[in-house]
Structure 1
Amino acid sequence: MNDLPVRIRPAEMDDLDAVVSIHTAACAAAGAEPDAVGGLLARFNGWARAIQLPGKTTLIAEADGEVVGVLSMESDAPGTALELSQIHVRPGQWRRGIGGRLHAAYVQSLRETGVLTGLAGVWEHNDRARAFYARLGWRPDGTVETNGDGLRRLRLRLEV
């Protein structure tokens, strides 16, 4: 691993293009099908909501002035589990400590809000993501959801 100096900060609407670009590239590198135009529009709209809506927090990682990673988290109600909705790092920056820095900011948010349980979902076929979460202490809680394409999403739990 080659750690980069990284700054973590709240995302702003000016970051939207970079955030969507990172998400799209990370999904493609993990084997997801390229987005159709409608899928890309939905991705822009989803990230715009994640950046703007109350109850959601989106953080970005910057290295050398460039957005290189993004994390989104949300809670349904104060005091309940804080869900790590998404975490993505630009594929050319993998294994450089960026995902770990974003995750550390998430854990800090858990502690600051007094919530000691984190939840996340991971696609069963995404071995890279599953290994990342396992290294950081996440464990499957037995909940499995299947989407319309038959892909299985495992729910993970982190106790801090």
Structure 2
Amino acid sequence: MQGPLIRRAGRGDVSALVRLRLANAARHVELDPGLFRMPDPEAVRRHFEAFAGHALITVAEVDGEVVGMAEVVLLHGNPPDHQILVPRRAADVHTVVLDGYRGRGIGAALVAEAERVAAAHGASLVHANVFATNDRAAAFYSRSGYRPHGTLLSKDIHADG
């Protein structure tokens, strides 16, 4: 296996991007079916058709096959002036590498490129949102230097109808 080619996703990558998103979704549904779902493949296709070719989606290619991707989602808006948070441009990063290609540095290369992309778009903080049930993802991002940044607490509530 040659090293991964890390490049911007193009329109010709849409089918591979859909395959990656659906493989990632299936893995997450196995972790926690009450939290994750399989998205509609056509909705995923429309999303990637709209964004492929933009600088925010990067792919990893090995021997001519797209085997991983990273998507940067820029977070807009600073906290209002009455809040205490220091204004910072932030971004979320979402990474997936196909089974069989993990443990070869592909994910780390994708994360490094996603960080460059985020910084080029003015972000100074990158979030990798990992749910507590996903130990493998938490360990992966930790190896890339990501650390806890607060705690997100949530509670399921049901509105009375």
* TM-score, scaled to structure 1: 0.73
Residue 95 of structure 1 and its aligned partner are, at CA, apart by 0.9
Q: Are the counterparts in 2 of residues 60 and 69 from structure 1 also a CA contact under 8 Å?
A: yes
Instruction: Pick the aligned partner of 1:102 from 106, 110, 114.
Output: 110
Residue 92 of structure 1 and its aligned partner are, at CA, apart by 1.7
1:127-151, CA deviations, whole angstroms, 9 ceiling, x for partnerless residues? 11111011111122224265979xx
What does residue range 123-142 of structure 1 map to in structure 2 within 5 Å? 123-142=131-150
- In structure 2, distance between residues paired with 1:101 and 1:65: 17
Identify the residue that residue 157 of structure 1 maps to in structure 2.
Answer: none
Residue 118 of structure 1 and its aligned partner are, at CA, apart by 1.1
Identify the residue that residue 3 of structure 2 maps to in structure 1.
Answer: 5
Identify the residue that residue 24 of structure 1 maps to in structure 2.
Answer: 22
Residue 61 of structure 1 and its aligned partner are, at CA, apart by 0.5
Larger-Rg structure: 2
Change in CA separation of 1:92 and 1:146 when aligned onto 2, cut-off 3 Å? farther
1:43-89, CA deviations, whole angstroms, 9 ceiling, x for partnerless residues? 22233334266xx61000111011010111032459711321x1111
Change in CA separation of 1:15 and 1:41 when aligned onto 2, cut-off 3 Å? same
Identify the residue that residue 144 of structure 1 maps to in structure 2.
Answer: 152
Q: Which amino acid aligns with 1:99?
A: G
Q: Which amino acid aligns with 1:12?
A: G
Q: Are the counterparts in 2 of residues 6 and 61 from structure 1 also a CA contact under 8 Å?
A: yes
Change in CA separation of 1:140 and 1:70 when aligned onto 2, cut-off 3 Å? same
Change in CA separation of 1:49 and 1:140 when aligned onto 2, cut-off 3 Å? farther
Aligned identity (percent) is 30
- In structure 2, distance between residues paired with 1:114 and 1:10: 18
Residue 139 of structure 1 aligns to a residue whose secondary structure is coil
Change in CA separation of 1:4 and 1:100 when aligned onto 2, cut-off 3 Å? farther
Residues 1:119 and 2:127 aligned together: yes
Identify the residue that residue 70 of structure 1 maps to in structure 2.
Answer: 69
1:5-45, CA deviations, whole angstroms, 9 ceiling, x for partnerless residues? 1111111121011111122123323426673xx62222222
Structure 1: runs of 5 or more not aligned: 150-160
Change in CA separation of 1:25 and 1:147 when aligned onto 2, cut-off 3 Å? farther
Q: Which amino acid aligns with 1:14?
A: G
Identify the residue that residue 156 of structure 1 maps to in structure 2.
Answer: none
- In structure 2, distance between residues paired with 1:110 and 1:42: 25
Q: Which amino acid aligns with 1:19?
A: L
Higher strand fraction: Structure 1 or Structure 2?
A: 1
Residues 1:48 and 2:44 aligned together: no
RMSD: 2.9
Q: Are the counterparts in 2 of residues 11 and 59 from structure 1 also a CA contact under 8 Å?
A: yes
Structure 2: runs of 5 or more not aligned: 78-87
- In structure 2, distance between residues paired with 1:41 and 1:98: 27
Identify the residue that residue 80 of structure 2 maps to in structure 1.
Answer: none
Q: Which amino acid aligns with 1:109?
A: V
Alignment size in residue pairs: 142
